[in-house]
Amino acid sequence: MSQPQYTPSLAPEHWTSWAPDVADAFMVADNHNRFIGARYAAHGDDWIEMSLPWREDLVETEDGALGPGVLIALLDLTCSRSVWTRLSGYRPHATLDLRVDHLRQPRPRAALRAFARCHQLTRHLAYVSGSAHDGNPDDPVATATGVFISTLGYFE
């Protein structure tokens, strides 16, 4: 994994200097994102992909599959990051609502991969759609739709 050249901070002067692939460095804090082990995989203008390796302590089924709890967390995180990707910068915001459609259970011991695209951005609201799979993007385990809110405003 490549090392970022700087450590992003939450200070407002850094809000526009983020790049999606170095935002993982932001997750130096010992928090939920760090705990579940999600990491940056790829991005485009308005979308991002995150990966989540399989781990024994995240398992919720008898046959050793991930989710659904960690799947929801991964989708929430990926959707949130897609907004920052579209903004090319960080903005504090909160999930307003998030809907997850469970298409099928992930396979035992499979890693998860989530994709999210911020398809609409207004001053205070960001609209995102995403999905997650366990190896084959044409056979997703879940889809997601989320709305995020920034009371400060995503832009001037």
Partner 1 sequence: MSGGAPLLPDTPFARSLGIEIAGIEADVVRLLMPFSNRVTGRPDLLHGGSIGGLFDMAVMANLRLALSEASPEAKIERVNMTVRYLRAGRKLLTYADAEIIRLGRTLATVSARAWQEDRNRPIATAEASLLVLRPD
11 in contact with partner 1 (CB under 8 A): no
- Inter-residue contact 131 to 145 (CB < 8 Å): no
Among 48, 74, 112, 121, binds partner 1 (CB under 8 A): 74
At closest approach, how far in Å is the CB of 122 from partner 1?
18
Amino acid at 145: T
3 state DSSP class of 105: coil
Amino acid at 81: R
Among 4, 37, 68, 108, binds partner 1 (CB under 8 A): 68
**What is the rounded distance in angstroms from the CA atom of residue 84 to the CA atom of residue 100?**
21
Nearer to partner 1, 45 or 56 (CB): 56
Interface of this chain with partner 1, residues 86 to 105, rule: CB under 8 A:
92, 94-102
Contacts of 39 (CB under 8 A, 6+ apart): 1, 24, 50, 51, 52
Among 73, 83, 110, 118, binds partner 1 (CB under 8 A): 73
* N-to-C CA span, the chain: 35
Query: Where does residue 143 rank: exposed (0-12), middle (13-18), buried (19+ CB within 10 A)?
Result: middle
Q: Which stretch binds partner 1 (CB under 8 A): 39-47, 59-67, 117-125, 130-138?
A: 59-67
At closest approach, how far in Å is the CB of 2 from partner 1?
26
